[in-house]
Amino acid sequence: MDTQRLADLAAKWADADPDMQTRDEVRALISKQDWKELEERFGASLEFGTAGLRGTLGGGTNRMNRAVVRRTSAGLARYLKAKVPDVVKRGVVVGRDGRRMSLEFAQETASVLAAEGIPAHVFEGVSPTPVTAFALEYLGAAAAVMVTASHNPPEYNGYKVYWGNGAQIVPPHDSGIAAAIDAVGAAKDIALLDEKDARAKKLWLDVPAELERKYLDAILALRPIKKSGDLSIVYTAMHGVGGRWVVQALAEAGFKNVTPVPQQQEPDGAFPTVRFPNPEEKGAMDLSTALAQQVNADIAIANDPDADRLAVMARDEKGALRMLTGNEVGVLLGHFMLTQQKVDKPLVLTTIVSSAQLKVIAAAKGARFEETLTGFKWIANRAMELKPEGYRFVMGYEEALGYTIGELVRDKDGVGTAVVAADMAQWCKSRGVTLLGYLEEIQREHGLFVASQFNATLPGTSGAAQIKAVMANFRAKPISAIGACTISAAKDYEAGTLPLPRSNVLAWELVGGHRVTLRPSGTEPKVKVYFEWNEQLKAGEPMAAARTRAAAALATLEKDFLVLARERGLP
């Protein structure tokens, strides 16, 4: 974009910005003629999709700010009034996490909804994402908004939308809301109703106090077996909003030996002890690990900042703490639920980038198994689609530490899953094994699946172009083998020939049951590659030997694929 056009676009946006801070920020960039930064902020716009919005805080169309939130809320309100005739009676739930600007964005959302005549059911303080999703169904609302950037770095925030069925939005609502947002005028011209006036008109309503009790009772009822006992647990909220909820839920479940990480227990949008508040990231679990060693904990568990994800550390055969992968926790929970809870027509779901091991387990246990596209919205909606056929949704998971148990919350639930994970660990301890010992039992019976992931972070508009080019180049120059591994099936989920919605994902199934999947992230400026290797154990073979062999094969597969990817533009 030429500099004059860029300056005019930025100046016009600043003139319409209702927030003095971001308005001045953009005008300062224009004065300094910082064309590179202005290009990053105005060369594109945050796209509203099936994950809502997520981006860096700051002024500009490609940033999270009051103007973007105000226009998004107006578009959402108008779309709801067009599609949901009783929305003005049912209202919309508004929740938020503890990040910078989450309070302000939640207030903007509620004020816009109220001005549109739609009651906003607003949480008094911060709330976990799964509790916001639960409130939507509990209150019979037409939709919900959760202001959160989940596990992104401190400079991010986001805006997640749920439909009235309790799940995150899927097509056609995502594109419909996006079109309604595009039709909204300048942010400064959007009507607002402040909290005082909205309350007087019963358009700003407090989420009822009893909801917390209802949610806690409901997640405690999900437990397939109640195995509270002497299990020692270290827990971290990762400076997020799950702290008091998880500690209380575990206490009420009978777990009396729970030690929170004190430096990370209270919400803090600055995330002072971690650069990247994601339990999967290097260093994020250091404080938890140190405390778990100090108190000799059996397990350490962690939420991400909005408490929809759960990480688990457990002791290995030598007593050392090891982080379980999302796939390993998902496999453990799936096996545990299918064997400890007897239901007719059980259903388990996972995603196309998660381990295929759950499919093998489900077949052995007589359960229906299906894969969906990446994102819990697809898992939740598919579970609802199959319910009329008599299938009972037992659990679902995605490899990025997201799990839910049963039908209570139609999204990831790091609070409810924490209780079931503790039950599972206590049950293992009562049998004289650790969670990793239980995992070995499962793998000896159902096979050894090991996985890894490669991420390339490509920020900004130039990064988005690189990601697009990598996907296009793989389609233009197809591959027939990955190193010594022959491809048995190549899948392009964007082609419309597969029994799933179109998505920008490529996958290769390899002879021997291995697979590689490539996709851009839906929430971060990344291109992601998922690798899985299916290793056959030899009779009587030590698991350590099989794991060593599988890890070497997996590393070779990753190396060979990255050679092909770099030939096609991957940095």
Q: Where in the chain is the domain with CATH 3.40.120.10?
A: 3-208, 215-446
| Closest to 44 in 3D by CA, of 32, 55, 33 | 55
At residue 92's C-alpha, the angle toward residues 243 and 237, to 5°, is: 10
Per-residue pLDDT at 291: 98
3-class secondary-structure state, position 488 = strand
Model confidence at 37: pLDDT above 80: yes
pLDDT at 510 over 90: yes
What are residue 94's DSSP bridge partners? 122, 145
Q: Give the model's pLDDT for residue 525.
A: 86
Sign of dihedral through CA atoms 99, 94, 164, 45?
negative
* Predicted local confidence at residue 135, as pLDDT: 98
Distances in Å between the alpha carbon of 305 and those of 96, 164, 258, 265, 285? 11, 24, 19, 10, 13
pTM of the model: 0.94
Pairing of strands 485-492, 481-482: antiparallel
Edge-to-edge order in the sheet of strand 368-372 = 368-372, 346-351, 392-398, 402-405
* CATH ID of 448-567, from 3.30.310.50, 3.90.1150.10, 3.40.50.880, 3.50.50.60: 3.30.310.50
| Residue 373's pLDDT band (cuts 50, 70, 90) | very high
pLDDT at 537: 87
Res 180: pLDDT: 97
3-state helix, strand, coil in the chain (%, to 5): 40, 20, 35
Is 538 a residue whose pLDDT tops 90? no
Q: State the Cα–Cα distance between residues 517 and 307, nearest whole angstrom.
A: 27
The structure tokens listed for 241 are: 């909003």
Q: What is the mean pLDDT of the chain?
A: 96
Selected from 3.90.180.10, 3.40.50.300, 3.40.120.10, 3.40.50.11740, the CATH number assigned to the domain covering 215-446 reads 3.40.120.10
Check residue 461 and give its pLDDT: 81
DSSP 425-478: HHHHHHTT--HHHHHHHHHHHH-EEEEEEEEEE--HHHHHHHHHHHHHHHHHS-
Q: What is the mean pLDDT of residues 57-77?
A: 98
Percent of the chain clearing pLDDT 90 (strictly above): 94
Predicted confidence at residue 407, as pLDDT, reads 94
CA distances (Å), origin 381, targets 96, 385, 553 = 23, 6, 36
* Residue 487: pLDDT over 80: yes
pLDDT tens digits, one per residue of 17-30? 999 999 999 999 99
The three-state secondary structure class of 204 is: strand
pLDDT at 329: 98
pLDDT in tens, 228-283: 789 999 999 999 999 999 999 999 999 999 999 999 999 999 999 998 999 999 99
Which CATH code is given to the segment(s) 3-208?
A: 3.40.120.10
Q: What length is written for the chain?
A: 571
Number of H helices, E strands in the chain: 19, 21
Contact 403, 415 (CB under 8 A): no
User: Taking 90 as the threshold, does the pLDDT of residue 3 lie above it?
Assistant: yes
**Contact yes or no for 268/98 (Cβ under 8 A):** yes
Q: What whole-number distance in Å separates Cα of residue 453 and Cα of residue 531?
A: 6
Contacts of 105 (CB under 8 A, 6+ apart): 64, 66, 69, 96, 147, 157, 159
pLDDT in the model for residue 219: 97
Q: What are phi and psi of 251, to 5 degrees?
A: -60, -45
Q: How far apart, in whole angstroms, are the C-alpha atoms of residue 222 and residue 202?
A: 35
Q: Contacts from 190-197 at CB under 8 Å and sequence distance 24+?
A: 190/70, 190/71, 190/74, 190/112, 190/115, 191/112, 191/115, 191/116, 192/70, 192/108, 192/111, 192/112, 192/114, 192/115, 193/111, 193/114, 193/115, 194/111, 195/107, 195/110, 195/111, 197/114
Active site residue 354: no
* Least confident window among 174-178, 202-206, 459-463: 459-463
Average pLDDT for 174-189: 96
Q: What pLDDT is recorded for position 459?
A: 87
Q: Is 555's pLDDT higher than 90?
A: yes
Exposed (0-12), middle (13-18) or buried (19+): which is 189, by Cβ within 10 Å? exposed
DSSP string, 7-67: HHHHHHHHHH-S-HHHHHHHHHHHHHT-HHHHHHHHSS-PPPBTTBEEEEBSSSTTSB-HH
Q: What is the mean pLDDT of residues 302-313?
A: 98
Residue 424: both structure tokens together: 């599972």
Asked if the model's pLDDT at residue 494 lies above 80, the reply is: yes
Percent residues over pLDDT 70 in the chain: 100
Using pLDDT thresholds of 50, 70 and 90, give the confidence band for residue 523. confident
Residue with tokens 């939420």: 303
Tell me if 254 sits within 8 A of 229, measured CB to CB: yes
- Identify the pLDDT of residue 69: 98
Confidence of residue 531 (pLDDT cuts 50, 70, 90): very high
Give one word for 353, left, alpha or beta, with left for phi > 0 and alpha for psi -120 to 50: alpha
Q: pLDDT band for position 227 (50/70/90)?
A: confident
Q: What is the pLDDT of residues 459-478, one digit of tens each?
A: 888 898 999 999 999 999 99
Amino acid, res. 29: L
Domain with CATH 3.30.310.50 in the chain: 448-567
Model pLDDT, residue 460: 83
Query: pLDDT tens digit string along 413-460?
Result: 999 999 999 999 999 999 999 999 999 999 999 999 999 999 999 988
CA distance 383 to 410: 9
Contact 246, 303 (CB under 8 A): yes
Q: Which of 73, 127, 150, 288 is catalytic?
A: 150
The pLDDT-based confidence of 300 (bands split at 50, 70, 90) is very high
Q: Which residue has 């109703």 as its token pair?
A: 193
pLDDT at residue 571 in the model? 85
Instruction: Give helix 243-252 / helix 210-220 axis angle, nearest 10°.
Output: 50
Backbone angles phi, psi at 403, to 5 degrees: -145, 155
